Structures are given as structure tokens and as C-alpha cells.
Homo-oligomer: A and B are copies of this chain.
């Protein structure tokens, strides 16, 4: 084995350990909250030493920030792909409905909900965490959606002055009530049928406000 091969093996071991730490941290943070989580517990669950954790992450806040970013970036990639497809739609109402269902689908993911609750609950004590989630999660998703709507304006399907407001309105029409309902009552409080109706009603109102065609 050459020294380069050794290096590669070291690197992949480091990557594997890093991933194990982030996965363990995700589980422990979501179960116990930010204050209730210790680096010891994370190290134990990841079956690495505490020194290894600190070699990769300066402190608990940085590790939590990584946990947030990992989940947020997964959601973001899915949103990007969905909005890109929407821009080329040949059935606007149907494909807006699919996008609405995708947004509402996140309410069925306990990890996303727990994370959201955790960050809101801790945002007073740890403002940097909330700001990261806002910037990497909300602002990126809105910018992506706004670019998709601009493409639909260029294709003559939507009529609007401000794509960013239209993106905010689409999200608000679809998500406001179901998101609050699960935040305050838990994910099991919303039925699939409620989500279907929220998607359809939200899309209808959006098209009534912004479509170039009468619906």
C-alpha cells in the first residue's frame, strides 16, 4: 500500500466517524433538546471518544448547527428539483398541487417537526441557531420558489410584480394552518384528508390571485 492509499483510508475513516457523530447528535438533540444533550452522550452513542468529537466539532453549538444544516440541505435539494420541474409544467394547477403536497409532506416527517420545535424553543437562548435555520432553510426555499414563479411569468402562465411575495404567499396559503396545527398539537393531529384539502384550497386561491387565466 502506498502512503496515498493510507491517506485515503484515513480520510474515509474520518468521514465515517464524522457521519456517525452527526447521526448520533441528531438523535440525541431531537430526543433531549439542546440543553438536555451532552457531548458525552453523543460520543457514547456514536461509539467514539469524546476527544474525537471535539476534534471534529469545536463545541455543542457547532455540532447542533451541523445537524440543522444537514436536515435543511436535504429538504432544500428536494425543493430545488421540484421547482425546476414546475417551471416547465404543462398543467399548472396539477403541478402546483404536487408542490403543495410536497411542502405539506414535511409535516409527516417527525425529524423535521422536532427540529423546528427545538429551534423555536431555543431561539431566545441561542439566536445563531435560529438565524442559520432561517437563512439556509426559509430564505433559500423562498428564493428557489420565486425563481420558478418568474419562469412561469416569462412563459405567460402567471401575472405578478414581485416573485418573492408570490413565493411567500404560496407557502402561506398552503402551510399556515397545517404547520401551526402540528406545531401546537403534534403531527398525528392532522389527517391526510385535511392535508389534501389544504393543498387544493391553497392552490385554487393562489391561481385566483396570480394566474393569467380565469379558473
Bound together, the chains give a CA A185 to CA B119 distance in angstroms of 10
Q: In this complex, what residue of B is CB-closest to A162? A: B201
Query: Does A147 touch B at the CB level, under 8 Å?
Result: no
Contact of B114 with A124 in the complex, beta carbons under 8 Å: yes
Complex interface: stretch among A14-22, A89-97, A171-179: A171-179
A175 to chain B minimum Cβ distance, whole angstroms, is 7
Q: Mark A94-121, 1 if CB is under 8 A from B, else 0.
A: 0000000000000000000010011111
Q: How far is the CB of A99 from chain B (nearest CB, A)?
A: 15
- Residues of B within 8 Å of A166, CB to CB, are 205
Residue of A127, A130, A180, A185 ringed by the most chain B CB atoms within 10 A: A180
A122 at the interface (CB under 8 A from B): yes
Query: Is A44 located at the chain interface by the 8 A CB criterion?
Result: no
**0/1 interface trace, chain A 126-145, chain B, CB 8 Å (1 if under):** 01001101100010001000
Given the complex, which residues of B lie within 8 Å of A85, measured CB to CB? none
**Structural contact, B123 and A201, CB atoms closer than 8 A:** no
Contact of A210 among B168, B176, B208 (CB under 8 A): B208
Instruction: Indicate the member of A134, A172, A174 with the most B CB atoms within 10 Å.
Output: A172
* Given contacts A121-B120, A127-B185, A209-B209, A138 and B201 within 8 Å (CB-CB): no
